[in-house]
């Protein structure tokens, strides 16, 4: 979905986060690669849409990303999109280029691969990952990148969407820069919605104090903006094409709002949502779209390391001697250090959400939360600045798992490690381990997590799912590391 916003009030993000298909899409996109004879890692990965109306995850896997005198640096990433797949898709296509640029530009990282860096390569990688995460937000502001994001648009398959697929949880209100509360947003929605268009749960939400009129919402431009957003809901039929629009009560909306601009008058029941969505409008796509992002770099050499960067709630988990070792932690608004940053930036945390809206405190994209130009990128309400952990590789290390929260919502870190480890060992015992083993295990993990009934599971197991398993090769397991402690990398002050 392409998101648009009015310049005065920001925009609604009409999301289908909670929208479910009538049955899950369990077909998977899988891949595997890496040659342990010459690369330090091999991988298997898979992605599955599941119950969601659209697929918003994306990933990258490059076992031989950069050649170094001591071997290849492997690069892996999972980008869990929200508000659409635009930012996550862009990251999967371009993050490695930005990271390469940052690494090659690092003052302590020589361009000549046969020359040792002036500081440990893992620290060069850590700082370059931090810079690359922030670079993505900078790139997303460029007109040519906006054009590329728009080119990613693809309509929802209307045949797969049931009439009851959307409920109140599908509508995420983001009203910026005015910082309207969720309660105010609900009042505005109540003032302009079609009472028959939303489900009973949404219609039953109590609206406090006086009714909100469109005069209270704002002028003609703002009214037209809200009207166009409501066009995108069209939920009573569950279709997002011509039939869905025609069943929306235009007469009701026009009568209740009474003072639309010419822009609204140009919208008719015959207009398809797909056509409306393709029209440019207001803010850039990345203002209302983002990605929880986690990236792993595997550095070779006599002292090989895992370098994990994360912004959001996707995770990187190491299997060390059969135990799950976290190389990331979830960035949630309720964490003390996160909530303090949010409040310093002028935001608030309500019901575990930033300004009552986004349940992540760090992500790439979501540029509407990053509009205070007096603050550094790492100081914004939502920040793309990642935490980076460096883990010297031990002889007891086996594999690393990267996955989105669609997996971690269903299983604990240790449960996932046990699941993968048992199947790797079983394949080896049967002499059946080959290049495709890891991707097959990823597929089995998704099948084990997907819900059989969204109502009974209360939504658990209904998210998109993406998993990468990275197997560590003997060339980096046999090393000179003495201390194998996982440490958070603290960049020197003033170096950003």
Please report, rounded to a whole number, the percentage of residues in the chain having pLDDT higher than 90. 56
Q: At what angle do helices 182-192 and 250-257 cross, to 10 degrees?
A: 110
User: Are residues 411 and 301 located together in one domain of the fold?
Assistant: yes
| CA nearest to 197, candidates 272, 144, 141, 253 | 253
The answer on pLDDT for 285 being more than 60 is yes
CA pair distance 126, 489, nearest whole angstrom: 7
Domain count, the chain: 2
Residue 97 lies in a domain: yes
311 and 433 part of one domain: yes
**pLDDT score for 158:** 59
* In-domain check, residue 348: no
Give the pLDDT mean for 314-328. 98
Task: Over range 197-208, report the average pLDDT.
Answer: 38
Residues 421 and 294 grouped into a single domain: yes
pLDDT at 439: 98
Residues with Cβ within 8 Å of 19's Cβ and at least 6 positions away in sequence, in order, are: 52, 53, 161, 165, 166, 170
Q: Where does a domain end: 213, 246, 277?
A: 277
Q: Are residues 136 and 251 in the same domain?
A: no
Rounded Cα–Cα distance for residues 34 and 370 (Å): 38
pLDDT tens digits for 249-264? 333 333 333 333 333 3
Q: Is 11 among the domain residues?
A: no
Same domain for 133 and 224: no
Domain final residue, candidates 277, 296, 314: 277
Q: Do 132 and 85 belong to one domain?
A: yes
Give the contacts of 455 (CB within 8 A, at least 6 positions apart): none
The single residue listed with the structure tokens 């693809």 is 154
72 DSSP β-pair partners: 67
Looking at the fold, whether 89 and 235 belong to one and the same domain comes out as no
Query: Model pTM?
Result: 0.77
Tell me whether residue 205 is in a domain.
yes
Answer yes or no: do 474 and 378 share one domain: yes
Which ranges of 350-412 does DSSP label H, i.e. alpha helix? 405-408
250/294 same-domain check: no
Report how far residue 128's alpha carbon sits from residue 123's, in angstroms, rounded to the nearest whole number. 8
Q: How does residue 121 score in pLDDT terms, banded at 50, 70 and 90?
A: confident
The answer on 483 and 374 residing in a single domain is yes
- Indicate if 310 and 200 belong to the same structural domain: no
Parent domain of 202: 160-277
Domain of residue 374, CATH code: 3.60.40.10
Instruction: Give yes or no: residues 435 and 464 share one domain.
Output: yes
Judge if the upstream peptide bond of residue 177 is cis by omega within 30 degrees of 0: yes
Residue by residue, what is the 3-state secondary structure of 279-313? CCCECCHHHCCEEEEEEEEEECCCCCEEEEEEECC
Task: State the DSSP H helix or E strand holding residue 100, giving kind and residue range, or none if neither.
Answer: helix 86-105
């Amino acid at each position: 979905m392409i998101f648009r916003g009015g310049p005065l009030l920001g925009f609604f993000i009409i999301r289908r986060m909670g929208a479910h298909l009538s049955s899950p899409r369990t077909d998977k996109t899988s891949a595997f690669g890496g040659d342990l004879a010459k690369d330090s890692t091999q991988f298997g990965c898979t992605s599955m849409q599941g119950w969601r109306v659209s697929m918003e995850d994306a990933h990258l896997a490059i076992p031989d990303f950069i050649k170094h005198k001591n071997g290849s640096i492997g690069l892996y990433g999972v980008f869990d999109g929200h508000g659409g797949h635009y930012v996550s898709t862009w990251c999967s296509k371009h993050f490695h280029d930005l990271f390469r640029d940052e690494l090659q530009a690092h003052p302590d990282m020589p361009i000549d691969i046969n020359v040792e860096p002036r500081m440990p390569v893992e620290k060069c990688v850590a700082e370059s990952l931090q810079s690359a995460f922030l670079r993505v937000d900078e790139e997303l502001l460029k007109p040519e990148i906006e054009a590329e994001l728009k080119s990613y648009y693809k309509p929802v398959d209307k045949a797969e969407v049931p009439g009851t697929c959307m409920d109140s949880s599908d509508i995420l209100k983001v009203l910026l820069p005015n910082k309207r509360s969720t309660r105010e947003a609900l009042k505005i929605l109540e003032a302009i919605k079609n009472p028959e268009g939303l489900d009973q749960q949404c219609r039953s939400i109590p609206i406090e104090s006086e009714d909100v009129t469109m005069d209270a919402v704002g002028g003609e431009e703002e009214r037209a903006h809200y009207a166009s957003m409501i066009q995108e809901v069209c939920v009573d039929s569950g279709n997002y094409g011509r039939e869905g629009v025609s069943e929306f009560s235009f007469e009701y909306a026009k009568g209740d709002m009474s003072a639309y601009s010419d822009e609204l008058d140009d919208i008719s029941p015959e207009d398809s949502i797909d056509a409306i969505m393709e029209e440019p409008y207001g803010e850039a796509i990345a203002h209302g779209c983002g990605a929880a992002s986690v990236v792993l770099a595997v550095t070779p050499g006599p002292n090989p390391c895992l370098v994990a960067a994360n912004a959001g709630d996707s995770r990187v988990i190491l299997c060390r001697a059969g135990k799950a070792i976290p190389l990331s932690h979830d960035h949630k608004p309720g964490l003390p250090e996160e909530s303090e940053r949010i409040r310093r930036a002028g935001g608030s945390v309500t019901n575990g959400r930033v300004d009552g809206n986004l349940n992540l405190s760090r992500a790439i994209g979501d540029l509407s939360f990053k509009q205070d130009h007096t603050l550094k990128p790492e100081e914004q309400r939502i920040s793309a600045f990642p935490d980076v952990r460096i883990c010297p590789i031990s002889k007891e290390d086996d594999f690393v798992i990267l996955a989105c929260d669609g997996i971690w919502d269903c299983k604990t870190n240790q449960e996932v490690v046990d699941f993968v480890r048992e199947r790797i060992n079983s394949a080896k015992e049967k002499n059946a381990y080959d290049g495709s083993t890891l991707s097959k295990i990823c597929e089995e993990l998704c099948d084990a997590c997907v819900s059989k009934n969204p109502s009974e599971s209360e939504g658990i197991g209904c998210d998109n799912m993406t998993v990468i398993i990275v197997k560590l090769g003997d060339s980096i397991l046999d090393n000179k590391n003495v201390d194998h402690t996982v440490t958070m990398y603290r960049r020197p002050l003033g170096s950003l």
